[in-house]
């Protein structure tokens, strides 16, 4: 027969077990839930970073559409004095305002020790002033890790880390000129603090659910815990295991999988379920908008590339085409009209191309044209050369070539005369051309007047060549 003390000890043990078992079960459930939360957290975080990177790519692509890679040096030199610079700056403000999480938007010319500011917008809340064009900027250590790749023109998609301005995701898109030379990078910094806050809220919500669930286990038993917590979480876990993330259709299927669960619990699990579906639907919307923007950008890039290759480059000789020449003339005409710009026009007409085509064939004629053009390009290394007709070429001399124009013309004539003097060479290798040059004499001299004088000088040279050699050969 048990004594009073033994009965009291036995009762105490039973009471202790009755407390410890629910607590142990609650702790076990909490561990399982926390593991599941960790999986959801890292999937959620990874997906959000990926989508922010896609959005940043869209923003920098829109910036790239506004920039002219051939004018980067001009932006640096004149910046706010240029109407085009201020127009681009306003466009950049519009792009930044369209993406609420952009903290900074800028265009830098990168170097191993930092970057030179070309465009720099101040922060949206006005707490940071923008850097001045031409000012040198030193980047953080997290950014400098990617500098070698950036300087090679590699499009770095997700530079992220903690900075003095918070946790940022930086995206840099390389900008090239018409010759394919890397000129600068268009960059945006996205604030990831909101994402981190969402993660924190997500964890807090789940922790509240697990705490309430543990209390329910102790007071209302295993059935209520299973009904209110375990089953909904298991359903969501099983659904997420079937998720795929490759396409928009995969994302839509993920949402349908979650909605089929039809979780209607009036607690934090139900709230998390609703928020999770809402976030997934927003992500799908972002993906669709980004996809449409990428399609538009791709079509425009292809169109621009096709125009640049086909319209502005002569397929045979590789020099500027008639369309490029017309565009250059239009650009110069306005400049010449309002400035004291110094330049010279050189007209080059290949002698007797028709004769070579007729006697030796068009393939030989093409070789003859390319050879004559090559000589001109070798002499005028610093000036654009355009093919404006079948056998007519124009060079526009500025800068060093203009200052040394007389020496350049002498070298060009000597090169053609030397080639023509090779009487034992094939006809299509005896390069010959008539040359006319005219320079701008004063500020009242128009572009068309200079062109006319150069043309007249070329025809005079052609006439002299005919009188001397008896043909246009």
Indicate whether 299 and 328 sit together in one domain: no
| Same domain for 147 and 21 | no
Residue 316 included in any domain: no
Q: Does one domain contain both 290 and 346?
A: no
In a domain, 168, yes or no: yes
- Rounded to 10°, the helix 4-66/268-306 angle is 20
pTM of the model: 0.39
Residue 211 has pLDDT above 70, yes or no: no
Q: Cα separations (Å) of 38 from 45, 199, 289?
A: 10, 11, 29
* SS3 state at 449: helix
Whether residue 280 sits in one domain with residue 164: no
Query: Hey, what are 416's tokens?
Result: 């053609």
Q: Tokens 């290759």 identify what position?
A: 309
- 330/446 same-domain check: yes
Q: Say if 339 falls within a structural domain.
A: yes
Question: Contact 172/238 with Cβ under 8 angstroms?
Answer: no
Based on the fold, state whether residues 399 and 332 are members of the same structural domain.
yes
Task: Give residue 13's pLDDT band: very low, low, confident or very high (50, 70, 90).
Answer: very low
Domain boundary among 191, 212, 242: 191
184 with 234, same domain?
Answer: no
- Residues 55-85: tens digit of each pLDDT: 888 899 999 999 999 999 999 999 999 999 9
pLDDT of residue 85: 94
Give the whole-angstrom CA distance, residue 214 versus residue 22: 8
Same structural domain for residues 423 and 389? yes
Please give the tally of structural domains in the chain.
3
7 pLDDT band (50/70/90 cuts)? very low
Looking up tokens 């240029």 gives 82
pLDDT score for 375:
95
The structure tokens listed for 363 are: 């393939």
Domain boundary among the residues 253, 274, 303 is at 303
The answer to whether the beta carbons of residues 322 and 386 sit under 8 Å apart is yes
309 in a domain, yes or no? no
Whole-angstrom Cα distance, residue 206 to residue 221? 20
Q: How far apart, in whole angstroms, are the C-alpha atoms of residue 272 and residue 232?
A: 11
In a domain, 213, yes or no: no
What the block records as the tokens of 449 is 């007047």
| Helix ranges (DSSP H) in 380-431 | 399-403, 405-420
202 in a structural domain: no
39 and 73 co-located in one domain = no
pLDDT at 293 (0 to 100): 72
The yes-or-no verdict on residue 144 having pLDDT over 60 is yes
Which residues lie below 8 Å from residue 438, measured CB to CB, with a gap of 6+?
344, 345, 450, 451, 452, 453, 454, 457
- Sequence-distant contacts of 34-41: CB under 8 A, at least 24 apart: 34/206, 34/210, 36/233, 36/237, 37/202, 37/203, 37/206, 39/237, 39/240, 40/202, 40/240, 40/276, 41/199, 41/202, 41/203
- Domain contains 52: no
The pLDDT tens digits for 417-441 are 999 989 899 999 999 999 999 999 8
When pLDDT is cut at 50, 70 and 90, the band that residue 129 belongs to is confident
Within a domain: 212 = no
pLDDT single digits (tens) 309-329 = 667 999 999 999 999 999 999
| CATH at residue 72 | 3.30.450.20
Count other C-beta atoms under 10 Å from residue 25's C-beta.
Answer: 15
Residue 394 belongs to domain with CATH number: 3.30.70.270
- Which residue shows structure tokens 């640049």? 308
Residues 420, 429: Cα–Cα separation, whole Å: 8
Residues 235, 102 within the same domain: no
Give 165: exposed, middle or buried? Use CB within 10 Å, 0-12, 13-18, 19+: middle
Do 326 and 465 lie in one domain? The reply is yes
Together in a domain, 95 and 151? yes
Question: In degrees rounded to 5, what are phi and psi of residue 167?
Answer: -85, 115
Strand partners, 279: none
Measured distance CA(202)–CA(44) in Å, rounded: 10
Domain end among 252, 274, 303: 303
Its domain, for residue 115, covers 67-191
Looking at residue 180, its pLDDT comes to 93
């Amino acid at each position: 027969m048990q004594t009073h003390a033994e009965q009291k000890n036995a009762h105490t043990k039973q009471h202790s077990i009755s407390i410890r078992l629910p607590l142990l079960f609650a702790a076990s459930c909490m561990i399982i839930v926390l593991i599941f939360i960790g999986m959801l957290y890292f999937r959620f975080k990874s997906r959000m970073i990926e989508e922010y990177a896609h959005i940043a790519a869209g923003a920098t692509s829109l910036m790239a559409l506004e920039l002219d890679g051939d004018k980067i040096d001009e932006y640096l030199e004149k910046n706010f004095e240029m109407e085009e610079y201020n127009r681009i700056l306003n466009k950049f403000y519009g792009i930044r305002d369209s993406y609420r999480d952009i903290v900074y938007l800028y265009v830098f010319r990168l170097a191993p020790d930092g970057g030179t500011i070309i465009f720099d917008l101040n922060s949206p809340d006005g707490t940071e002033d923008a850097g001045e064009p031409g000012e040198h900027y030193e980047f953080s250590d997290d950014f400098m890790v990617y500098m070698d790749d950036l300087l090679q023109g590699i499009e770095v998609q997700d530079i992220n880390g903690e900075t003095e301005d918070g946790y940022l995701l930086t995206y840099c898109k390389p900008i090239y000129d018409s010759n394919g030379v890397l000129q600068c990078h268009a960059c945006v910094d996205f604030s990831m603090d909101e994402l981190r806050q969402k993660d924190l809220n997500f964890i807090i919500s789940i922790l509240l659910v697990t705490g309430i669930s543990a209390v329910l286990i102790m007071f209302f038993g295993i059935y209520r815990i299973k009904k209110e917590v375990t089953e909904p979480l298991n359903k969501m876990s099983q659904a997420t295991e079937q998720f795929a993330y490759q396409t928009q259709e995969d994302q839509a299927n993920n949402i349908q999988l979650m909605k089929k669960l039809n979780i209607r619990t009036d607690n934090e699990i139900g709230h998390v379920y609703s928020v999770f579906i809402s976030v997934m639907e927003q992500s799908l919307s972002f993906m669709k908008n980004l996809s449409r923007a990428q399609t538009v950008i791709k079509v425009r890039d292809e169109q621009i590339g096709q125009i640049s290759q086909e319209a502005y480059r002569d397929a045979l000789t590789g020099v500027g085409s008639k369309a490029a020449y017309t565009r250059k003339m239009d650009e110069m005409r306005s400049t010449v009209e309002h400035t004291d710009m110094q330049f010279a026009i050189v007209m080059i007409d290949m002698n007797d191309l028709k004769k070579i085509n007729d006697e030796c064939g068009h393939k030989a004629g093409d070789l003859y044209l390319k050879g004559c053009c090559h000589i001109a390009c070798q002499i005028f290394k610093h000036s654009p050369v355009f093919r404006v007709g079948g056998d007519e070429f124009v060079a526009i001399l500025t800068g060093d070539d203009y200052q040394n124009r007389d020496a350049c013309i002498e070298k060009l004539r000597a090169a053609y005369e030397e080639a023509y003097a090779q009487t034992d060479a094939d006809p299509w290798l005896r390069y010959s051309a008539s040359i006319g040059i005219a320079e701008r004499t004063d500020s009242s001299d128009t572009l068309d007047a200079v062109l006319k004088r150069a043309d007249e000088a070329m025809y005079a040279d052609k006439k002299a060549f005919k009188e001397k050699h008896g043909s246009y050969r």
